[in-house]
């Protein structure tokens, strides 16, 4: 029934004390301690959803209010379609605020007409206008210009457009002096100073893609029986060129023949070939082949890949992700994913990271950001501000599912940390663009 295991990759057992405990997320949860395996815990109550729990704690509201504010965030695309057409070049951006339960539209001067939403009880009293200095189009053009000038300059990161501050964010590492930057970059920053928000990190920082283990072992892993789902760890098989363990994002199906695939990060695979084998582990630690890489992109256009499931009968792939229990979340082994949607600034999203043994939630702060990592500048990524400075991934977390409200939102790609390992922000590939390029659909 299951794939043959005679060529299965050996489970790594190296323990790195300084690293976060690694794991593989499972369907039938089976925790493996450093010295012994604990018995599997019974499935938890599947409510509230992780994003609801996060809002309850951070906004100080009850479950009903939290759910209502999350539902309001789903109206942002509809409001956006109306106001962008109305404001044209005056449009300064749109975002939601989970703490107040409002949607804000920025304009450079032209008043916003919300009359088309009169009578909409969900939006009543929830729409705000803010007059700003710079249009979104001007800020995006400035961001693109500065990114090209700074992409190979140490100590400077052009971090995208911040709608709330109406500026382009510039991160400087400790010790970086603007006057010492290359002349063309220094001049561009000086001339655009009123449209920039410049901050200096206490310690040097860098972007890290989370694809390989670098010797960090899997001891303490959580392994799963079928159904195959998002959030579990996947390992490259023997003879494969993959960089190391990654995380399964979502189970999707071909638009052509409905065959199942696993979506993950494109940088998890090597440059060649694109047919690497990927494996996962059952609760008894037996290794089983998931399948081979089918399509892969790691370029300016995106960072995503699909793995063709080798044995659908054995794996019984399902449209679920694993949620790990934490301060904001209740463990849910079969959190359902019913479709795929885009993101808006201000959205609450969650991600399950297999090697971090965690589900983290945070707020989308920017969209359409270009990030340079692993030698490639990937465009149009989303940015999430973590709840705490440790809520970034570790090596092996790349590809993890980003989701909310039962909908797939993206794929975890990389994070931005200081040299002291403090998490500044993390990045994700939008799922809609990935599914379109891979010719897949969810569920």
For 240-357, strand residue ranges (E) read: 246-247, 250-254, 260-264, 277-281, 287-299, 302-309, 320-323, 332-336, 339-340, 348-353
Taking 90 as the threshold, does the pLDDT of residue 215 lie above it?
no
Mean pLDDT, the chain, rounded, equals 83
Find where tokens 């904001």 sit: 328
Task: Indicate the DSSP class of residue 26.
Answer: -
Q: At what angle do helices 63-73 and 50-59 cross, to 10 degrees?
A: 110
Q: Summarize pLDDT for 349-360 with one digit per residue, the tens.
A: 999 998 888 899
What is the secondary structure of 224-251 as a DSSP string?
Answer: -PSSP-BT-EEEEPTT----S-EE--EE
For 53-126, strand residue ranges (E) read: 91-97, 102-107
Residue 257: which residues within 8 A CB-CB, separation 6 or more? none
Locate 54 and state its tokens: 């996060």
For 57-101, strand residue ranges (E) read: 91-97
How does residue 327 score in pLDDT terms, banded at 50, 70 and 90?
Answer: confident
Measured distance CA(86)–CA(112) in Å, rounded: 8
Residues 328, 330, 332, CA angle at the centre, nearest 5°? 140
Count CA atoms within 13 Å of residue 156 on its CB side. Answer: 22
How does residue 121 score in pLDDT terms, banded at 50, 70 and 90?
Answer: very high
Measured distance CA(62)–CA(55) in Å, rounded: 9
pTM across the whole model? 0.82
Measured distance CA(158)–CA(416) in Å, rounded: 12
Measured distance CA(205)–CA(142) in Å, rounded: 23
Locate 6 and state its tokens: 């005679």
Q: Between the CA of residue 133 and those of 90, 147, 162, what are the distances in Å? A: 10, 21, 13
Three-class DSSP category at 212: coil
Measured distance CA(21)–CA(394) in Å, rounded: 9
Other C-beta atoms closer than 10 Å to the C-beta of 101 total 19
Instruction: Round the CA-based radius of gyration of the chain to a whole number and report it.
Output: 22
Q: Summarize pLDDT for 226-280 with one digit per residue, the tens.
A: 899 999 989 887 655 545 789 999 999 999 999 999 999 999 876 545 567 899 8
Other C-beta atoms closer than 10 Å to the C-beta of 162 total 20
Task: Indicate the DSSP class of residue 268.
Answer: G
Domains of the chain plus CATH, in order, are 50-131 (3.30.300), 136-201 (3.30.300.50), 208-441 (2.40.10.10)
**Predicted pLDDT at 10:** 46
**Predicted pLDDT at 295:** 93
Q: Summarize pLDDT for 11-67 with one digit per residue, the tens.
A: 432 222 222 222 222 222 222 222 233 334 444 445 689 999 999 999 999 999 999
């Amino acid at each position: 029934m299951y794939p043959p295991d005679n060529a299965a990759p050996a489970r790594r057992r190296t323990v790195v004390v300084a690293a976060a405990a690694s794991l593989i997320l499972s369907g039938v949860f089976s925790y493996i301690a450093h010295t012994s395996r604990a018995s599997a815990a019974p499935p938890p109550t599947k409510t509230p959803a992780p994003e609801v729990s996060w809002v309850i704690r951070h906004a100080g509201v009850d479950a009903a209010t939290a759910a209502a504010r999350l539902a309001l965030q789903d109206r942002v695309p509809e409001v956006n379609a109306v106001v962008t057409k109305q404001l044209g070049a005056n449009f300064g951006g749109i975002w939601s605020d989970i703490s107040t339960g409002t949607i804000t539209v920025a304009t450079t001067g032209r008043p916003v007409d919300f009359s088309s939403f009169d009578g909409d009880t969900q939006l009543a009293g929830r729409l705000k206008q803010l007059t700003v200095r710079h249009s979104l189009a001007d800020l995006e053009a400035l961001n693109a210009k500065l990114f090209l000038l700074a992409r190979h300059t140490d100590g400077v990161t052009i971090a995208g457009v911040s709608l709330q501050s109406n500026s382009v964010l510039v991160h400087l590492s400790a010790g970086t002096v603007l006057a010492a930057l290359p002349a063309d970059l220094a001049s561009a920053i000086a001339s655009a100073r009123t449209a920039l928000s410049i901050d200096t990190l206490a310690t040097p920082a860098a972007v890290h893609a989370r694809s390989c283990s670098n010797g960090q072992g899997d001891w303490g892993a959580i392994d799963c029986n079928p159904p195959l789902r998002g959030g579990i760890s996947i390992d490259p098989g023997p003879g494969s060129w993959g960089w190391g363990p990654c995380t399964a994002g979502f189970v999707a199906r071909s638009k052509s023949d409905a065959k199942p695939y696993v979506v993950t990060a494109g940088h998890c695979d090597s440059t060649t070939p694109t047919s690497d084998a990927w494996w996962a582990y059952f609760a008894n630690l037996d290794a089983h082949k998931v399948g081979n890489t089918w399509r892969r992109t790691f370029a300016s256009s995106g960072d995503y890949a699909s793995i063709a499931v080798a044995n659908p009968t054995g794996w019984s792939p399902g449209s679920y992700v694993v949620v790990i229990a934490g301060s904001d979340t209740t463990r849910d082994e079969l959190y359902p994913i019913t479709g795929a949607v885009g993101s808006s600034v201000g959205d609450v999203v969650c991600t399950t990271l297999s090697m971090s043994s965690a589900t983290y939630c945070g707020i989308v702060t920017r969209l359409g950001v270009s990030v340079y990592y692993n030698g490639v500048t990937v465009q149009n990524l989303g940015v999430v501000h973590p709840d705490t400075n440790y809520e970034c991934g570790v090596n092996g977390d790349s590809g993890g599912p980003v989701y909310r409200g039962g909908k797939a939102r993206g794929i975890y790609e990389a994070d931005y940390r200081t040299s002291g390992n403090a998490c500044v922000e993390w990045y994700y590939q939008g799922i809609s663009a990935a599914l379109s390029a891979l010719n897949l659909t969810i569920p």
